[in-house]
Amino acid sequence: MSAALQESVSRLQGALQDARRGLIGRDTLVELIALAAVAGEHLLVIGPPGTAKSEAVRRVARGLEASYFEYLLGRFTEPSEIFGPVDLRKLREGVVETETRGMLPEAQIAFLDEVFLGSTAILNTLLSLLNERTFRRGHTSIRCPLRLCVGASNALPEGEGLAAFADRFLLRCFVEPVPDDRLEDLLEGGWLAGEQPPRVARVDDLDQLAVAARSASLESLRPTLAQAIRLLRKAGVLLSDRRIVKAQRLIAAAAILGGRREPGPADLWPLLYVVPTAAAQATARDALRDLLAPSHNLLLGSASEEASLGPLARATRLLSSGRTLLSGPGGAPPDLWKLRIEGVLREIDAGLAEAQMPPDLREVREGLMQALGAG
């Protein structure tokens, strides 16, 4: 990988680390937002209200210094609230043009909450905007700079028409409220949120990584990907041809973000998030367990681990967490920093046998032991 690409990955890594700070249990969501943005695909997040869906997207957009549009849709939302009002000056001249400044057609990253409540007029316009990055209305026809749209809802739609619209969101992420054992972390994270200025990457970094992903070759990985699809079908998990083909974009993007110019077995894990329902994802995870075992990604460690439940992905995430802790307590109290070190050490020792522990993780473990003793 070139030095320029490595710098883009490094800047994005810093931005994502800061975006995750205080968002307890939302590491995977933050990482999937970045993956979708590099792949040029869209993400659908399903979960109850108040689970930090919009905050996660907002933080990633801020970390990329991207133009951002956010809206909560309702049954009576007008298209002008999303796409912009008709230009009255032009209308007097008999020309129907839309004033799009500050609206969705000019956003680089967008978040649409309760996206399935949009009217037919809104959803039909969204289809061409999402698929073709083009906004058409009256005499207005413009290319849109949209890198990523995240849609959110409390549940997947049941109607056939809405299901077809939902299929345009290639990635699916299902979130739940923070569990009981992490409530203290939730309270602390919410209290300390915003105390430190976040590191930022650039939209140009996204574009550079996206170009590299599009130029990657999947030729050597396609037989394995085809085998994965066959295993899914055998398990009763059916994907549309569109989703199967587009999954390659996610795999290529995962490879680039993992520091690899060409995708390999370690990068097959995004296929799990292409599966459209939570129940089917659970089935797919079991069916693909062996194929996904080599998964690992230093930048997207939580997402790859959650998809594969594999030791390499777990080791990669723990390596990243350990290195962060070794850099010092930051703004955290020393006692809390010590507790976090203890937690990572427990997870390393409980989750990884000696034979599975990579040398760099063993080195980090020794450093954490020394830091704990010094603390």
pLDDT digits (tens, 9 = 90+) for 311-357: 676 777 788 788 888 888 766 677 778 888 888 888 788 767 777 67
Q: Which two tokens stand for residue 147?
A: 């890198």
Query: How far apart are alpha carbons 113 and 104 in whole angstroms?
Result: 13
Please give the structure tokens belonging to residue 86.
């008709």
Q: What is the pLDDT of residues 44-59, one digit of tens each?
A: 999 999 898 999 999 9
* CA 202, chain centre distance (Å): 16
- Beta strands 148-153 and 43-46: pairing type? parallel
pLDDT band per the 50, 70, 90 thresholds, residue 235: very high
Residue 128 in any domain: the answer is yes
In angstroms, the CA 145 to CA 77 distance is 23
Taking only the tens place, the pLDDT of each residue in 98-152 is: 889 999 999 999 999 999 999 999 999 999 899 999 998 877 889 999 999 999 9
Residue 112: inside a domain, yes or no? yes
User: Domain end: 181, 200, 231, which one?
Assistant: 181
Q: Cβ atoms within 10 A of the Cβ of 249, count?
A: 22
**Structure pTM?**
0.85
pLDDT of 310 strictly over 70: no
Residue 108 lies in a domain: yes
Provide CB contacts within 8 A for 90, sequence distance 6+: 96, 97, 139
In the predicted structure, residue 74 carries a pLDDT above the cut 90: yes
Give the bridge partners for 153, in sequence order: 46
Residue 362: the pLDDT is 87
Query: The domain spanning residue 120 has which CATH number?
Result: 3.40.50.300
> By the 8 A CB rule, do 61 and 109 touch?
yes
- pLDDT tens digits along 267-299: 999 999 999 999 999 999 999 999 999 999 989
Q: Which residue has the tokens 């849109």?
A: 144
Owning domain of residue 371: 310-375
Three-state DSSP state, 172: strand
SS3 call for 86 = strand
Which residues, in sequence order, are CB contacts of 32 under 8 Å at separation 6+?
Answer: 43, 171, 173, 273, 300, 303
Please say which residue of 181, 198, 217 terminates a domain. Answer: 181
How many domains does the structure of the chain reveal?
2
Q: Is 160 within a domain?
A: yes
pLDDT over threshold 60, residue 195: no
In a domain, 244, yes or no: no
Judge whether residue 375 has pLDDT over 60.
no
What is the Rg, in whole angstroms, of the alpha carbon atoms belonging to the chain? 22
Domain for residue 173, yes or no?
yes
Task: Look at residue 265 and tell me if it is in a domain.
Answer: no
Is 215 contained in some domain? no
Average pLDDT for 62-70: 95
pLDDT category at 374 given cuts 50, 70, 90 is low
Q: Which of 161, 181, 201 is the last residue of a domain?
A: 181
- Residue 174, class by beta-carbon neighbours within 10 Å (0-12 exposed, 13-18 middle, 19+ buried)? middle
pLDDT of 122: 94
